[in-house]
């Protein structure tokens, strides 16, 4: 860390001393003591290098981190457990005996010990990020007081802005999970704090984002792609406002980013989720975990570790582990009307009747995004050859499909050459917030403002990009993506149309925008949180289970969806650790 970072910020790259900041920052966030205890003397970190290293450690917490527990899958950059497996997008996958906590989560059995372990992983991950950000701010202040001018003023402002932004992001992740959470700043000394109510948390997040907007430079500091900038914070502010149903404010914020910001849609969908370095941190990236393979870390832990379970199993080039499998419901949702190219679900109540393996050559026309999202038999799997039946670990349990967005291309050079089962490790950046997501939030804001035609324009922009290229034969780098009518395509009939008729009602527009979010963001850990904020999760998931339990028989054991599932239960251990005397400071969420 003695040399400045250049060109890109590999947030997975942290020297051991800075990884140890988690100890100084308080490993479990809430402890039996009033102040954090640790083995690392903060005086050794009160240097310009220590401040920068602490900030890198704060970025590193965006994804699964190695705290000595091999199975912290409850905290990943993609939120695949909490955002996808809980929804109609994906099954846990793999087989019944592997990661039973994820099975309990899929079955909405959220009071088991196995689920509580996952919940605690998520809590510790979020607040580890908060703690590291606050540590950075304390160290920065200490250096400025002891050695004025040791850190240039512009750098000091940028460091503070980055740390405050990341603190807001980690609190937002916790808020999406639990709503009623404690909020920590750098001057907190007793971590046994009561949770704020949901609205107060939003106020605190927005306050931090407003501070970050003032402090951050317009472009990433030092030219390091991957660092956050003023535009990142502005875009994220609009995201928070949309999630909080602050629609007039979200409309103004998101429109300003669209009209003046540096972001744009990639020219084709294959450049969004990719291991090719030339497309890394492209114009669609707002915030991504900067996975780093082959960076000198001997176990590959700085790569896409939180996704490593989510590859095809032993018959595939990746060897393991078959988790996060797309649901039959999701695959069926990509079917389109043969004439208009619009989602079949808009007009055909029978869109979800197919329960058979949807293999290559099926006559049903589909949105080309299906085969950038789902691995299905006989269809090229990027440039790894056709997806095969023996790539699936347990078809009767997890279905017949594989995840695809997180997987690197063979020709990209992104695969790790170290670590346990390195074929599952890569340097594909994990998108946490991307421009297509922002545009669709803006489209929602336009709908809620009574401007459905503005929303239609945005959705058509997304669909136009989606129709630019489709999965090609992948014989080499240049044929992974081809035009959707390319004669080499024999495995699918790709169709995608635009909404040409005006949207005359708010409800019509709302449905179309929500459908587009599912198609565009499928398997990206967003779906369950969307259903929750729309207030539709109970009906949608009840309908989903009514059909899906006949396809995946274990889903018959799912608990009924009730209002309490609007929020996750707080981890029991954190409530216990929050006690002052015999009184817990943390309140459990309603119904749990």
- 98-125 pLDDT, tens digit each: 999 999 999 999 999 999 999 999 999 9
Cα 130 to Cα 57: distance, rounded to the nearest angstrom: 11
Q: Given a cut of 60, is residue 67 above it in pLDDT?
A: no
Instruction: Tell whether 124 is covered by a domain.
Output: yes
d(CA 6, CA 504): 50
Taken in order 261, 262, 263, 266, the sign of the CA dihedral is: positive
What is the domain-level CATH number for residue 153? 1.25.40.390
Residue 340 has pLDDT above 90, yes or no: yes
Q: What is the pLDDT of residues 440-465, one digit of tens each?
A: 999 999 999 999 999 999 999 999 99
Contact (CB, 8 A) for 73 and 99: yes
Cα torsion for 426, 432, 436, 442, to the nearest 10°? 180
Return the structure tokens found at 63. 């994804």
Closest CA to 31 of 530, 507, 499, 580: 580
Name the pLDDT band for 389 (thresholds 50, 70, 90).
very high
State the residue range of the domain holding 32.
Answer: 17-194+526-592
Distances (CA, A) of 581 to 99, 120, 191, 585: 35, 22, 14, 10
pLDDT in tens, 412-426: 999 999 998 899 999
pLDDT at position 463 is 98
The per-residue pLDDT for 43 is 72
If one counts the domains in the chain, the total is 1
Sign of CA pseudo-dihedral 348, 354, 355, 358: negative
Token output for 174:
């916790």
- For residue 587, give Cα distances in angstroms to 215, 388, 436: 34, 49, 36
| Cis peptide upstream of residue 416 (ω within 30 degrees of 0) | no
What predicted TM-score, i.e. pTM, was given to this entire model? 0.93
Q: Please report whether residue 484 resides in a domain.
A: no
The per-residue pLDDT for range 508-548, each reduced to its tens digit, is: 999 999 999 999 999 999 999 999 999 999 999 999 999 99
Residue 542 CA to residue 485 CA, distance in Å, equals 38
Q: Per the structure block, which two tokens stand in for 312?
A: 């095809």
Q: Is residue 453 part of a domain?
A: no
Cα distances from 120 to residues 65, 78, 83, 139, in angstroms, run 14, 17, 16, 28
Indicate the average pLDDT of the chain: 92
Closest CA to 172 of 529, 440, 517: 529
* pLDDT, position 72: 78
Across the range 564-591, mean pLDDT stands at 97
Alpha-carbon distance of 224 to 239, in angstroms, equals: 23
Residue 438 maps to a domain: no
Beta carbons of 264 and 46 less than 8 angstroms apart:
no
Residue 569 to residue 556: CA distance in whole angstroms:
22
Beta bridge partners of 482: 470
Residue 44 has what pLDDT? Answer: 77
* Residue 499 counted as domain residue: no
pLDDT class for 34, splitting at 50, 70, 90? very low
- What's the 3-state SS for 203-260? HHHHHHHHHHHHHCCCCCHHHCECECCHHHHHHHHHHHHHHCCCHHHHHHHHHHHHHH
What is the C-alpha end-to-end distance of the chain, expressed in Å?
45
Q: Is the pLDDT of residue 30 over 80?
A: no
Asked if residue 450 is part of any domain, the answer here is no
pLDDT tens per residue across span 144-179? 999 999 999 999 999 999 999 999 999 999 999 999
Of 163, 85, 167, 81, nearest to 122 by C-alpha is 81
- The DSSP output letter for 515 is H
The three-state DSSP-derived secondary structure of 299-314 is: CCCCCCHHHCCCCCCC
Share of the chain above pLDDT 90, in %: 90
pLDDT at 41: 66
Least confident of 43-47, 126-130, 240-244, 515-519: 43-47
Is the per-residue pLDDT at 210 higher than 70? yes
How does pLDDT run across 14-26, given as a tens digit for each residue? 333 333 343 333 3
Q: Tell me whether residue 380 is in a domain.
A: no
- Kind of pairing, strands 430-434 and 374-375? unpaired
Which long-range contacts does 502-509 make (Cβ < 8 Å, 24+ apart)?
Answer: 502/452, 502/453, 502/456, 503/452, 503/453, 503/455, 503/456, 504/452, 505/452, 506/447, 506/448, 506/450, 506/452, 508/452, 509/447, 509/452, 509/455, 509/456
Q: What is the pLDDT of residue 281?
A: 96
C-alpha neighbours within 13 Å on the C-beta side of residue 166: 36
Place of tokens 């929750």: 532
Give residue 6's Cα distance to chain centre.
26
Q: Measuring CA to CA, which residue among 261, 232, 168, 174 is closest to residue 206?
A: 168
Q: Is residue 295 part of a domain?
A: no
Please state the rounded mean pLDDT for residues 568-572.
Answer: 98
The whole-number average pLDDT for the span 333-347 is: 98
CA dist 173 and 175 (Å) reads 5
Q: Quick check: 213 pLDDT over 50?
A: yes
Tell me the average pLDDT across 355-376: 98
Tell me what pLDDT residue 224 has.
95
pLDDT score at 66: 60
């Amino acid at each position: 860390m003695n040399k400045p970072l250049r060109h890109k910020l590999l947030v997975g790259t942290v020297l051991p001393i800075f990884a140890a900041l988690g100890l100084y920052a308080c490993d479990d966030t809430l402890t039996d003591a009033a102040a954090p205890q640790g083995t690392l003397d903060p005086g050794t970190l009160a240097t310009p290098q220590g401040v920068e290293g602490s900030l890198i450690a704060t970025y590193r917490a965006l994804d699964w981190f190695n705290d000595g527990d091999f199975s912290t899958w409850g905290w990943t950059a993609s939120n695949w457990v909490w955002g996808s497996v809980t929804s109609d997008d994906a099954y846990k996958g793999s087989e019944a005996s592997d990661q039973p906590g994820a099975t309990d989560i899929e079955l909405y059995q959220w009071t088991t010990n196995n689920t509580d372990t996952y919940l605690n992983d998520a809590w510790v991950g979020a607040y580890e990020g908060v703690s590291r950000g606050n540590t950075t701010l304390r160290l920065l202040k200490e250096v400025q007081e002891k050695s004025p001018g040791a850190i240039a003023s512009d750098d000091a402002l940028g460091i503070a802005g980055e740390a405050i932004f990341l603190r807001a992001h980690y609190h937002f992740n916790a808020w999406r999970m639990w709503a009623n959470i404690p909020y920590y700043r750098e001057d907190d000394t007793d971590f046994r704090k009561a949770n704020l109510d949901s609205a107060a948390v939003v106020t605190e997040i927005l306050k931090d984002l407003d501070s970050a907007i003032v402090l951050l430079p317009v472009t990433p500091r030092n030219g390091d792609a991957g660092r956050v900038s003023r535009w990142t914070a502005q875009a994220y502010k609009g995201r928070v406002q949309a999630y909080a149903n602050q629609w007039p404010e979200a409309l103004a914020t998101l429109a300003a980013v669209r009209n003046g910001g540096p972001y744009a849609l990639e020219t084709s969908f294959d450049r969004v989720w990719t291991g090719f370095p030339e497309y890394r941190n492209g114009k669609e990236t707002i915030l991504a975990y900067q996975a780093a393979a082959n960076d000198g870390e001997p176990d590959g832990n700085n790569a896409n570790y939180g996704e490593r379970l989510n590859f095809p199993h032993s018959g595939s080039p990746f060897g393991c582990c078959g988790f996060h499998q797309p649901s039959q419901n999701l695959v069926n949702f990509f079917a389109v009307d043969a004439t208009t190219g619009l989602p079949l679900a808009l007009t055909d109540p029978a869109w979800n009747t197919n329960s058979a393996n949807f293999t290559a050559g099926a006559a049903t026309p589909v949105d080309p995004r299906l085969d950038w999202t789902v691995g299905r038999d006989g269809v090229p799997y990027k440039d790894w050859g056709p997806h095969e039946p023996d790539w699936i670990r347990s078809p009767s349990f997890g279905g017949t499909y594989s995840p695809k967005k997180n997987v690197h291309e063979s020709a990209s050079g992104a695969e790790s050459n170290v670590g346990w089962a390195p074929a599952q490790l890569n340097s594909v950046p994990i998108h946490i917030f991307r421009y297509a997501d922002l545009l669709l939030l803006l489209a929602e804001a336009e709908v809620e403002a009574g401007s459905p035609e503005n929303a239609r324009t945005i959705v058509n922009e997304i669909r136009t990009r989606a129709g630019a290229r489709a999965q090609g034969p992948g014989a080499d780098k240049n044929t992974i993506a081809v035009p959707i009518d390319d004669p080499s395509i024999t495995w699918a009939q790709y169709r995608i149309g635009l909404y040409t008729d005006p949207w005359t009602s708010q409800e019509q527009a709302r449905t179309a925008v929500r459908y587009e979010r599912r198609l565009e963001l499928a398997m990206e850990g967003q779906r369950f949180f969307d259903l929750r904020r729309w207030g539709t999760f109970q009906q949608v998931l009840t309908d989903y289970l009514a059909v899906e339990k006949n396809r995946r028989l274990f889903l018959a054991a799912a608990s009924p969806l009730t209002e309490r599932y609007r929020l996750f239960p707080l981890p029991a251990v954190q409530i216990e650790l929050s006690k002052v005397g015999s009184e817990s400071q943390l309140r459990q969420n309603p119904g749990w």
